[in-house]
């Protein structure tokens, strides 16, 4: 039996000289390619290509409220620029025979006590209020950022003088201070812009000072100094871009507050003079007729004011994510 087993082993080795298994055996079957395990709940990867537009699209898709605010902002901008062209009536033209008519197919928002179309006046007021807000916020942003950045970077007497100036402005109630400035300078759009910019300036100065003060000793700032860059260049190209995201939220909030400030000044008679269409003036004029039942005179300008403030308040987080350098990596 032993010799027969040895002969069988020799025969099998002669048939498979390399010691391979037959073709049909499991050892000769190719192994299937392994695929990396991916969790079922893994979030979608963020796009890393496409530049700024792709990043903006990602931010809008990831935050539905920012998308809604952005759509409303586009509508407001279109109404501001194209309002005089798409308005069905002249916002200054009066028609006593059509005075105090309720909303209808002919006059969507009704007419006021002089027969002027309220819808046309709301459209015309959009451009004026947006211009006041953007101009005031841009002016306060530039001046406040410069003042706060220099104060936070150099410290010392620069910080002390700038701090006392900011504290002086903040010591007054902001709307009361704006009232005093406009009352002293006179009722005009330019003076409203100046007053709104002055009362908004401390917000940007404080935020920029805090952000610059935290980053002035950071490693990338020291590396820029060793590379021979000047202080102003370091502030403009290294520190300020990293301090910009929190300021974007402040810009958005201040745009809404600037519109409210302009409307409030006009409401109490210190803003834009009639018959110029402006939301605050329209609400003030319509408030006299609410008791008698002409509710549309104050409702529609007030609703436009509310939507504008809501839009800018909700747009802040999206602007922060768009300009934040850390969100792009």
pLDDT bucket at 83, cuts 50 / 70 / 90: confident
Are residues 149 and 157 in contact, defined by beta-carbon separation less than 8 angstroms?
no
Q: Any idea which residue has 């005075």 for tokens?
A: 99
Nearest-angstrom CA–CA distance, 17 and 12: 8
What does the pLDDT look like over 131-183, one tens digit per residue?
999 999 999 999 999 999 999 888 889 889 999 999 999 999 989 999 999 99
What does the buried/exposed string (b/e) look like for 129-167 if buried means 16 or more CB atoms within 10 Å of the residue's CB? bbebbbbbbebbbebbbebbbbbbbeeeeebeebbeebe
Q: For domain 52-91+98-328, which CATH number applies: 3.30.70.1400, 2.40.50.100, 1.10.10.10, 1.10.3720.10?
A: 1.10.3720.10
What does the pLDDT look like over 45-78, one tens digit per residue?
444 445 667 767 777 777 788 888 889 999 999 9
Q: Which residue from 239, 251, 247 is spatially nearest to 154, judged by alpha carbons?
A: 239
Any residues with CB less than 8 A from the CB of 280 and at least 6 apart, and which?
Answer: 262, 263, 264, 265, 266, 267, 271, 272, 305
Q: For the whole model, what pTM was predicted? A: 0.75
Residue 2: per-residue pLDDT: 52
């Amino acid at each position: 039996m032993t010799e027969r087993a040895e002969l069988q082993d020799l025969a099998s080795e002669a048939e498979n000289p390399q010691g391979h298994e037959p073709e049909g055996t499991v050892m000769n079957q190719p192994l299937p390619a392994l695929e990396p395990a991916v969790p079922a709940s893994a979030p979608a990867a963020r796009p890393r290509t496409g530049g700024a537009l792709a990043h903006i699209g990602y931010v809008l898709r990831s935050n539905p409220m920012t998308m809604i605010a952005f759509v409303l902002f586009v509508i407001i901008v279109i109404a501001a620029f194209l309002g005089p062209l798409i308005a069905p009536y002249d916002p200054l033209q009066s028609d006593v025979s059509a005075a105090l008519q309720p909303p209808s197919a002919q006059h969507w928002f009704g007419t006021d006590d002089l027969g002027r179309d309220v819808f046309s006046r709301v459209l015309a007021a959009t451009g004026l209020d947006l211009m006041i807000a953007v101009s005031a916020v841009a002016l306060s942003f530039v001046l406040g950022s410069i003042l706060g950045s220099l104060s936070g970077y150099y410290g010392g007497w620069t910080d002390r003088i700038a701090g006392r100036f900011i504290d002086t402005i903040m010591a007054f109630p902001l709307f009361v201070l704006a009232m005093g400035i406009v009352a002293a300078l006179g009722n005009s759009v330019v003076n409203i812009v100046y007053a709104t910019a002055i009362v908004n300036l401390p917000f940007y100065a404080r935020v920029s000072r805090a952000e610059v003060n935290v980053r002035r000793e950071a490693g990338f700032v020291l590396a820029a100094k060793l590379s021979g860059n000047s202080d102003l260049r370091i502030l403009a190209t290294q520190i300020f871009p990293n301090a910009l995201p929190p300021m974007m939220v402040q810009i958005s909030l201040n745009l809404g507050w600037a519109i409210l400030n302009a409307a409030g000044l006009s409401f109490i008679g210190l803003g834009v003079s009639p018959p110029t269409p402006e939301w605050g003036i329209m609400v003030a004029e319509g408030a006299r007729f609410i008791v008698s039942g002409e509710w549309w005179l104050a409702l529609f300008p007030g609703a436009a004011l509310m939507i504008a403030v809501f839009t800018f308040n909700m747009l802040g987080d999206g602007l922060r994510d768009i300009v934040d350098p850390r969100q792009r990596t």
